[in-house]
Amino acid sequence: MSMLVVVTENVPPRLRGRLAVWLLEIRAGVYVGDVSKRVREMIWEQIEALVEEGNVAMCWATNTESGFDFQTCGKNRRVPIDYDGLRLVSFLPVPE
């Protein structure tokens, strides 16, 4: 079991409802919980299937240099990158 944080933006109510089944919504669009890897992967499958035009970032505790890992889904200027084994965030250029 590890701490999980999911931050949503502009997602459909159906996805928000699904997330609320497994996680606690502590602020609008911000969900937290303590779940197993299996449940985390199942939640991610639901996110990918239901995100539509919104975007989601999911972060969880791991045994890595930074102590956490994350992934994103949907349209957003922030893109995860790997820099010598360290996960960072890169910004895409602003569309004209």
SS3 assignment, position 38: helix
Which pLDDT tens digit goes with each residue over 39-94?
999 999 999 999 999 999 999 999 888 889 999 998 887 888 888 878 888 888 87
> Quick one: pLDDT at residue 52?
93
> Quick one: pLDDT at residue 42?
97
Determine the topology of domain 2-91 in CATH: Alpha-Beta Plaits (3.30.70)
> Quick one: pLDDT at residue 29?
96
Burial class (CB in 10 A: 0-12, 13-18, 19+), 8: buried
Residue tagged 């956490």 (tokens): 68
Question: Using CA atoms, how far apart are residues 8 and 83, in angstroms rounded to an integer?
Answer: 25
> Quick one: pLDDT at residue 76?
81
